[in-house]
Amino acid sequence: MDRRTLLAGAAAVPFLPRFAVAQPARARTLRFVPHANLAVLDPIWTTAYITRNFGMMVHDCLFGIDANFEPKPQLAEGIAFEDGGKVATVTLRADIRFHDNEPVLAKDAVASLKRWQKRSPMGQYLDTLTEELVALDDRRLRYRLKRPFAMLTAALGAINAPLPFIMPERLASTDPFQQIREVVGAGPYRFVASEFNSGSMVVFERNASYQPTPAAGQGLLAGPKVAHFDRVEWHIIVDAATAAAAVQAGEVDWVENPPPEIFPLLRRNRQVKVEPLNPLPLSGILRFNHLQPPFTDKRIRQAFLPAVDQRDAMIAVVGTDSDLFKTEVGVFTPGTPLANDVGLEPLNGPRSVERARQLLREAGYANQPIRLLAPTDIATPAALSQVAGDMFRRIGVNLDMVMMDWGTAVQRRASREPLDKGGWSALCTAFDAFDFLNPAAHFPLRANGAGAWFGWPEVPRLEALRDQWFEAPDLPAQQRIAREIQQVALDEVVYVPLGSYIQLTALRRNIEDRVVGPPIFWNIKRG
C-alpha cells in the first residue's frame, strides 16, 4: 500500500492504543502534535524550532515583540536611557518567580543575557557594543554601551531563535556551547520532567504562580500570557496518517504541520479547521558548503542558478495551490519592509538545465563529487532535498545523495571535513519568517567564515553591509542597505533562495483564540 492510499483510509482505522489511556480533566488538557521530536532542552544552545517552541512554554524574556513587531515589557517593568542612549537601566517586575519559587533577580537576567549574547546573531552584535552589563541591585540591571543602539529593547525581546530567555544564574552561568540539562523557567508553564519521553511525549503543567504582565501589547510574545489549560501534552507522531486520524477523532486537538496531501482529508471533517499557522511565509533554501570543492569557486555556485526552479520547490512543499506559496523570492521574508527584487535576475525568467551545464563547463567543473544531505523524516527539508537532487541529476553532476534522519543530518551538517572524511557539499532546509525579516538574526546571510552558519561563507563586504544596517538611522536607509545586501548575497551565492510558503496547521474547531505565529500555548482555549 502506498502512502496516499494509507492516508485516504486513515479516518476509518481504529485509533492507536497509546491514546486510549484516560487523561485527568480532559477538557483542561490540550493535546498537540509538534512538527518534530524534542531532543534538546536548551533553547540557547540550539536554534532548532522545536526547542525554541519548548523554550517559549517554560521561559520568559524581559521584553516581548508584539504583532506590530514592537517590543513590550514582559519580565521587565520598564527601561530608562541615559547618556544619549549609551546607558540603559532595565527594572524587573517585583512579582516574578522561577518555577522553583526563587525570585527572578537582576543577576539572573545578567547571566542569561551574557550567555545568549554568545549564541544569537543579534546578541553577538550587541556583545560587540557592550562595555558593561551588571546587576545594580535585585531588580535593576544596567547596560553601558560603546555607542547608542536604537534596537536594544527589540534585541532584548527578540523572537528569532535563540530567544533571550531568562534563567536562574546557576544555570545561565553554563558555557554557552554546552547544553543545560535542567529546565527551570519563569514562564506560564512548567516542564514535567518525570513524564518526558523523547520520541513520544512532552508534558507541561500550568504555572499557578505565574503573573502575566500588566503591560499593554497584543499578539506574538507581547501582552498578558494567560494559561487556560492545566496541562499541555506534546505527542510525537511521525506518521502523517496517524496524526490526521488523531485530530479527526478528537484524540488530539492540534497538529502543527500536516503535509499537503492530508489537507483535503482534514477539510472534509466539519470538526477540524485548517488555517495558516502564521500569515507570514517561511523560506526554503539550498545551501552550498563554501569550504569544500567544487563550491569553493563562486562561478560553480552561480552556474546552478539557471536550473533552480522555485516553483518546483514550493509545489513539493505545499502542493499546487498558488495561494500558499510565492516565487521570485530573495533573501528577506516576502511582504515585509526589507523584501526587494534586486539581484534576482539569475533566478527569474526561463529555467534552463542546458544553460547550467554550459556555465559549469565554462567554470571548469571537473566531475567532483557533490554530496547532498537529504533528511527523510521532516517534511519540508525532505521535499526540498528531493527537488534539489533531481536538479543535480538533470544537470549531470557527480551526485551522492545521502538519505538520513533529521537528527543525523543536524549532526552531519556541522562537519567541516572533506567528503572522504564524512563531510558534505549541499543541504536544503527552511527558516521561519521571523528569521528572515532583517539581517539581525538572519543565520544563512552571515558571511563571517568560521563564525557563519553551516556552509561557512566568507564575504567581508556582506558583513560590512550588515554592520551598516545596524547603524542606519531610519527605515529608508535600512531598505537601501538591504537591497545592496541582497545583491551581494545573490552574486556570491551565499545560499540559493527556493521560494516562500504558508505553513498550514490543523486544529479541532472548538480550539479558540490561538495566538497567530509560532505554536504558542497561552491565551488559547477550548470553546
CA distances to 28, 57, 114, 217, 443 from 156, in Å: 33, 18, 11, 16, 18
My answer on whether 188 and 167 are in the same domain is: no
My answer on whether 143 and 213 are in the same domain is: no
Last residue of a domain, one of 172, 204, 227: 172
My answer on whether 493 and 370 are in the same domain is: yes
User: What is the number of structural domains in the chain?
Assistant: 3
Q: Give pLDDT, residue 25.
A: 59
My answer on whether 349 and 451 are in the same domain is: yes
The ranges of the chain with pLDDT < 70 are 1-25
Half-sphere exposure of 443 (CA within 13 A, CB side): 21
Asked if residue 356 belongs to a domain, the reply is yes
My answer on whether 166 and 188 are in the same domain is: no
| Peptide bond preceding 350 in cis form (omega within 30 of 0) | no
- DSSP code of residue 377: S
Asked if residue 18 belongs to a domain, the reply is no
CATH number (domain holding residue 67)? 3.90.76.10
Which residue range forms the structural domain that includes residue 488? 282-501
CA 119, 121, 122, 127 dihedral sign is positive
Last residue of a domain, one of 143, 172, 201: 172
CATH number (domain holding residue 522)? 3.40.190.10
Q: Give pLDDT, residue 4.
A: 34
**What would the pLDDT profile of 109-130 be if each residue is shown by its tens digit?**
999 999 999 999 899 999 999 9
Contacts of 498 (CB under 8 A, 6+ apart): 283, 284, 285, 286, 308, 310, 313, 314, 329, 384, 387, 428
CATH number (domain holding residue 495)? 3.10.105.10
- DSSP code of residue 24: T
Determine the Cα–Cα distance for residues 342 and 305; give it in Å rounded to an integer.
15
My answer on whether 358 and 242 are in the same domain is: no
My answer on whether 163 and 185 are in the same domain is: no
Please state the pTM of the whole predicted model.
0.87
Last residue of a domain, one of 145, 172, 199: 172
Q: Give pLDDT, residue 447.
A: 96
